[in-house]
Amino acid sequence: MERLTVQEEEAMQAVWKLNGGFVKDILEEMNSNTPYTTLASTVKNLEKKGYVMHERHANAKKYLPCISQTEYKRSFMSSFVGEYFGNSYKDMVSFFAEEQKLKPEELAEILNMIKK
């Protein structure tokens, strides 16, 4: 799965939230100052990368997600952990704990989730 740019990921978040939509719908959902033409180009790039497909509605295209948000998260996290933590989730959690980004109660909650 090809990695997304920040702009592509922002657009994809809107597509997932809407479960598909026209460029104007995606733009409204993003609630940003991105020009329409820029977003249209971004969505076309997403289609080339296989993240969305389109359905024709008269002269307009409705873009639908081809990849679920869960699939993307799984792939992104796997790549992230591989690149930055040598494929060790333990090292990742340890890093966040040491940086005090993970509170003890959150760590306990994670441990409970793992036990289940």
| Mean pLDDT of the chain, nearest integer | 92
| Residue written as token pair 């295209």 | 61
pTM: 0.79
**Which residues pair with residue 55 across a beta bridge?**
62
Has domain 69-115 been given CATH number 1.10.4040? yes
Provide the token pair at 91.
């090292």
Q: What residue ranges in 1-116 does DSSP mark as E strands? A: 52-57, 60-65
The neighbour count for residue 58, using CB atoms within 10 Å, is 5
pLDDT at res. 68: 95
Q: CB neighbours of 44 closer than 8 A, spacing ≥ 6? A: none
What residue spans define the domains of the chain?
Answer: 6-65, 69-115
Assigned fold of 6-65:
Arc Repressor Mutant, subunit A (1.10.10)
Contact 88, 81 (CB under 8 A): yes
Contact 96, 85 (CB under 8 A): no
Q: Report, as an integer, the average pLDDT of 48-55.
A: 97
pLDDT at res. 18: 97
